[in-house]
Chains A and B, each alone.
Chain A
Amino acid sequence: MNPIIEFQNYSFKYRSQQEPTLRDINLKIYPGEKVLIVGPSGSGKSTLASCLNGLVPFSYPGENSGTLTVGGKDPAKTGIFGMSKTVGTVLQDTDGQFIGMTVAEDVAFALENDCVPQDQMFDLVDQVAQVVDIKNLLHHVPTELSGGQKQRVSMAGVMVDDVDILLFDEPLANLDPATGKRAIDLIDRIQKEKKKTVVIIEHRLEDVLYRDVDRIIVVGEGRIVADETPDKLLSTNVLAEQGIREPLYITALKHAGCVIDEKSHPSHIESMDLQPYKESLKTWFENVALPEKKKETEAALEILNLDFSYVTGNPVLSGIHFRINRGEMLSIVGKNGAGKSTLSGLICGFNNPDRGQILLRGEDIGSKSIKERGEIIGLVMQNPNQMISKPMIFDEVALGLRVRGVPEEEVKERVFETLKICGLYPFRNWPVSALSFGQKKRVTIASILVMNPEVLILDEPTAGQDYHHYTEIMEFLKELNEKQGITILMITHDMHLMLEYTDRAIVIADGKLIADDTPARVLTDEATADRAYLKKTSLYDLAVRCGIEDASGLTERFIHYERQVRSRG
């Protein structure tokens, strides 16, 4: 069989850059294969994808050497339109990809551009809508859809062209864990039923491995570092070396001193042969210490019996009741649209609750304005681009102080100090645009920190970040929490984040608080995880399959051990 995608000694350099982004790529992908491409940010994995659909070199100009054929064509000669008949691309930003006014129109978009007559379009759209299970949504507008549904629409929109290759650019980035699982399942089904070639770019490896992939290609610094079957790859240390997160159960086994053997089929925890590792894991479990319980301190924030609705009779939150201690770092989790952001909006005063109180250090803040609350409670939005309102970093961080009339001398001093804490001091005279996404995030955090808030609320602090940047941001937040004593509240659906960095998780589902417990226990309790659209951690399966009864105990020990490893550097 001839490969459907073939790179031969392929290199590519963007016009705006000094160094090539891809070097000497040799890669063959055969028809009907399902391939996962992983690599840290800046490794060139996204550029690799853009070579396939023609965005490189047409939208992102540059020079290439070597050859590339996709479906018998050279994308650099065929152009974006030509390639769109062979490669269907599902972009990461589902809102950006959803162009049509309604679901049906969006699915039909490519057909409209091909001048397909209307009655044929109706049929084709119906057929493809059936495949991705959005038939009952055809007349909905984008604002009525969840992230997962929008992604299905995007899939339908490229499949309607009957492409041979489906290319997914970080399909899991904006989905909660349960929805992500369903997306992976759907991709798998389509690949099998329709005999498509599937290429997935993603750094959430464990989540993609929920269904089989044929090969995993690891990209690092523009080169292909590994091209292996999942079983083989997981038995090496390539992933860790490249800064990609291994599946948690693999890491746990490695901590227990096990050497992973390819023959034990490590790619799925459900079917992995654990016989060789059981004993070591048990021994490890018995010898590793549990973390010490943190002492209850005074309350930083108390939420008392909060009810809220945008439209009367249609409650978004009801009976929310919990307390946050000073110096705590905790997470609020739940599926997209469960009311997490509404809750943070109520705390910050964007909306007023219908009933209930919010106490800050025992004092009711109901009558305080947004601005007044903003001096004590800082909010960092998910997308830094939506917060930054000054072109220069210094001015951006100084904004909150300047509008409060702080003298310029003091502004300078406090801004410099904050920039030092955030590791941004060397960049103080740079424009914001010269920074990476992660650095911009730091700027937004700095711009809040400078006002010395007691509580910091972060909305999805690590969304769209690879493991390296994730760790960087989270370690930074941990340091703030430990050294500056700031109480940190994170709204997230990242299970790793809640497990690894928070001591407590508040779980919200359908407007109600359904759990307030340690993350380990939340993520090993199937009922809670299901209701909140989380996914129980693979450590749970590992424990059960190795005969360790206390699954959450294993998880807690694992996390504690990990933290110690990290703090030792």
Chain B
Amino acid sequence: MARLLTYAEKDTWIHRLSGVTKMIFFLLWSIVGMITYDTRVLVVMLLISLVVFKISKTEWKQVGTVFLFILFFLVFNLVVIFLFSPYEGEKIYGQRTDLFHLFGNYYVTKEQLFYELNIMLKYFTVIPVVLMFMVTTNPSEFAASLNRIGISYNVGYSIAIALRYVPDVQADFTKIRHAQEARGIEMSKKASLFNRLKSMAAIIFPLIFSSMDRIDVVSNAMELRGFGKNKKRTWYAGRPLKRNDYFVLIFVVVFCAAALIITFLDGSRFYNPFS
């Protein structure tokens, strides 16, 4: 799992923020990033994202492979959008300015380029924030943070257990795959689709059924130590909100409200520079 994004302990004021703050920031930021197509807002958000990313001292090697993957996906997506709907921009902005002819019925238009630019911007405003959230938030704080923003601690703890057991399940998976390969199960491309699915079953089957045993053990262990006995619980790893947290929270709420107001001032989520 070399390219998995993992928390790295560093000492910046972003790392020192409470997980709750980062989670709220991340959620609000993603929501606004999803809703708005206002280019001005997106550009400002992109700049802020980059600044925050820089401050968090996140290094390329932490996120590089993942970033390249997203980039590839993004380009692919942009091309597909163009192929499927080359005049989506025209529909949105109400006019069409052809730039040049590509092939067949495909013309590159100014509006389409602008529309796709906005899509790209949308990706780029959110990506640094997700990456940063993943590498600066201690997973231990995750459950505590969710609980703090009002989500049941049961759900919070489910997530904690998931994060706790991912490495164990991963190790089991590798062990099982090796043992099954030694027995002759092949995952190579030569096999037919159905056979490959069957090979996959040969790995997933033991993985799931040994996990079913684990569910029993873990739930007994949790019950023996009093999980679920009270309506509330406290968190060892929770981090109380400090001054900086309040600043960030106030900023993100105000910013997001403003961003939405600016976006919808003209009654549409799109900013139209052509009219």
Residues of A that sit less than 8 Å from B by CB: 53, 55, 58-59, 80-81, 84, 89, 91, 93, 95-102, 104-105, 108-118, 121-122, 125, 141-143, 157-158, 161, 345, 348-350, 370-371, 373-375, 377-379, 381, 383, 385-390, 399-400, 403-404, 447-448, 451
Contacts and interface: CB of A to CB of B under 8 A. Distances in A.
Contact of A113 (B202, B206, B229): B229
B210 A370 contact: no
Interface of B: 139-140, 160-161, 163-164, 167-168, 171-172, 175-176, 178-186, 201-203, 205-207, 209-210, 213-214, 217-218, 220-230, 232-238, 240
Given A81-B223, A374-B181, A385-B213, 11 more contacts: A99-B225, A121-B236, A370-B182, A373-B182, A385-B206, A385-B210, A386-B206, A387-B176, A388-B205, A389-B206, A400-B183
A166 to B, nearest CB: 12
A374 B237 CA distance: 47
B218 A96 contact: yes
A350 B205 CA distance: 20
A456 to B, nearest CB: 12
19 contacts: A84-B225, A91-B224, A99-B164, A100-B236, A105-B237, A109-B227, A115-B230, A115-B232, A142-B168, A143-B171, A345-B178, A374-B183, A377-B182, A386-B176, A386-B179, A388-B206, A403-B185, A451-B183, A451-B184
Nearest to A101: B140
A382 B24 CA distance: 45
A477 to B, nearest CB: 18
Contacts of A55: 220, 224
Contacts of A400: 183-184
Contact of B228 (A95, A99, A113, A390): A113
Contact of B164 (A101, A112, A157, A349): A101
Contacts of B233: 112-113, 115
Contacts of A104: 236-237
Nearest to B218: A96
B184 A403 contact: yes
Contacts of B178: 345, 348, 350, 370
A485 to B, nearest CB: 21
Nearest to B219: A59
Interface of chain A, helix or strand or loop or mixed? helix
A350 B226 CA distance: 42
A121 B186 contact: no
Given A93-B217, A403-B186, A80 B160 contact: no
Interface of B is mostly: helix
Nearest to A379: B182
A286 to B, nearest CB: 49
B184 A371 contact: yes
B168 A95 contact: yes
Contacts of B209: 385, 388
Contacts of B214: 96
Contact of A381 (B171, B179, B240): B179
B226 A81 contact: yes
A379 B213 contact: no
B210 A111 contact: no
B16 to A, nearest CB: 16
A377 to B, nearest CB: 8
B183 A399 contact: yes
Given A101-B140, A115-B234, A385-B206, A109 B183 contact: no
Contacts of A378: 182
A474 B175 CA distance: 24
Given A112-B233, A403-B184, A386 B172 contact: yes
Contacts of A374: 181-184
A379 B226 contact: no
Given A118-B235, A388-B206, A99 B230 contact: no
Contact of A108 (B205, B227, B236): B236
A114 B231 CA distance: 10
